[in-house]
Amino acid sequence: MTSEVQTGAFAAVGGARPESKARSFARLGKLDVYDYYPSIVVALAAVLLPLSRFEAAQGWTLGLFLAGEVLVVMAMVALDDVTGYRDGSDAANYGPNDPLRRKLRKPLIAGTLTLREALAFAWVTAAAGAVLWAGAVAVAPHRPGWTLVLVPVLFVVALQYSYGVKISYHGFQEVFLVGLGVALVLAPYGLVAGRFSWFVLVLAVLFGFGPLMFGVYSNTNDIPGDRAVGRPTVACLVSERGNAVFVGVLSAAEFLLGALASATGAAPWWFVVLMLPVTVLRARQYLTGFRPGDIMTARKQGFVVHRVSTVLLVCAALLHGAEAAA
């Protein structure tokens, strides 16, 4: 299958390489999809105020953690492409009728990288990420016991998303997408704050909802390919109507979590009001995806919703810090 895919891809451009190796590696690492990386900004906002108490060690810890996070996530998505290439799901979702510009997002399918190159890239970035995370722990001003467990578990589990034990192939993809976002906020926060916070947990869960909510729209689009290789996403396991209900419930749950946090005191009373723009945008995304059935446009809207949500979560963390410091 490898030679056939490569031959077809390069034939489409007259036998010439369509882009540089560096660009292909950047595509393999999905550097243009950066929506997990602002987790570090959420963690920073939760400890930044008052500024007089912010220490250089905290800045170094967050910087090292972010650099490691980028590399670990790059390794995770590269291994996902390796598995998708090997089992044929990417070939099904990026079939012969797709334009080359779309295929290039999958360098193995486009033939711009070999399987050996992709695996080498994944393991090198994973190893470098591990070193940087170890450095973050070493220079951290605090090392609560739970963070010393969370960081290595996060590293190991991230690489098992669709490689190794293949978490996403055993019915846990949706849980993983949220959980990864949660851990990427809580781990650096714990290292620089030295404590656990229910409010930061709420921020972390809502941050994790972003990748989940454009993930479930992707799954809706990828049903044929995922079913063909036995990848049991919710979209594959239930009916079309059942999937629409599932996504609707998740959309409502995002709002309800903020409302519950405000009602119980886990978050300030104003938190649910601050996050209302996200609820409005999420409703728009749902109607786009399941009324006219434009799933891919709804998926794109999900990136916007997540980015708006992240900005509001950062604002909430800063406001909460300012109130506490006053």
Give the whole-angstrom CA distance, residue 189 versus residue 40.
Answer: 8
pLDDT band at 206 (very low <50, low <70, confident <90, very high): very high
The residue with tokens 């708006």 is 308
Q: Which pLDDT does position 7 carry in this prediction?
A: 39
93 has pLDDT over 60: yes
For residues 262 and 269, the answer to whether their CB atoms sit within 8 Å is: yes
Between 221 and 267, the more confident residue is: 267
Confidence of residue 14 (pLDDT cuts 50, 70, 90): very low
What is the 3 state secondary structure string of 225-268? HHHHCCCCCHHHHCCHHHHHHHHHHHHHHHHHHHHHHHHHCCCC
Contact 282, 193 (CB under 8 A): no
Return d(Cα 189, Cα 16) in angstroms, integer.
48
pTM for this predicted structure: 0.90
Q: Where does the pLDDT of residue 117 fall: very low under 50, low under 70, confident under 90, or very high at 90 and above?
A: very high
DSSP string, 138-183: HH-S---HHHHHHHHHHHHHHHTSSSTT-GGGTT-HHHHHHHHHHH
Under 8 Å CB-to-CB from 119, ≥6 apart: which residues?
Answer: 82
Contact 210, 309 (CB under 8 A): yes
For 135-146, what is the mean pLDDT? 97
pLDDT above 70: residue 4: no
Lowest-confidence segment of 42-51, 55-64, 105-114 by average pLDDT: 105-114
pLDDT band at 97 (very low <50, low <70, confident <90, very high): low
- Examine the pLDDT at 104 and tell me if it is beyond 70: yes
- At 264 the pLDDT is 97
More confident residue, 43 or 225: 43
- How high is the pLDDT of residue 186? 98
Q: Which residues contact 282 (CB under 8 A, 6 or more apart)?
A: 213, 251, 254, 255, 305
Residue 29 has pLDDT above 80, yes or no: yes
What mean pLDDT comes out for the span 236-246?
Answer: 93
Evaluate if residue 176 carries a pLDDT over 90: yes
- What percentage of the chain exceeds 70 in pLDDT? 92
Each residue's pLDDT tens digit, 257-285: 999 999 999 999 999 999 999 999 999 99
Low-confidence winner among 120-129, 226-235, 239-248, 313-322 (lowest mean pLDDT): 226-235
Q: For residue 292, what are its two tokens?
A: 């006219």
The mean pLDDT of 295-321, rounded to a whole number, is: 96
Spatial neighbors of 109 by CB under 8 A, at least 6 apart, are 5, 9, 85, 90, 91, 94, 103
Q: Does residue 217 register a pLDDT over 70?
A: yes
At 185, which helix (H) or strand (E)?
A: helix 173-193
pLDDT tops 70 at residue 11: no
Question: Which one is predicted more confidently, 52 or 146?
Answer: 146
Averaged pLDDT of the chain: 90
The token pair at 19 is 């882009």
257: number of Cβ within 10 Å: 18
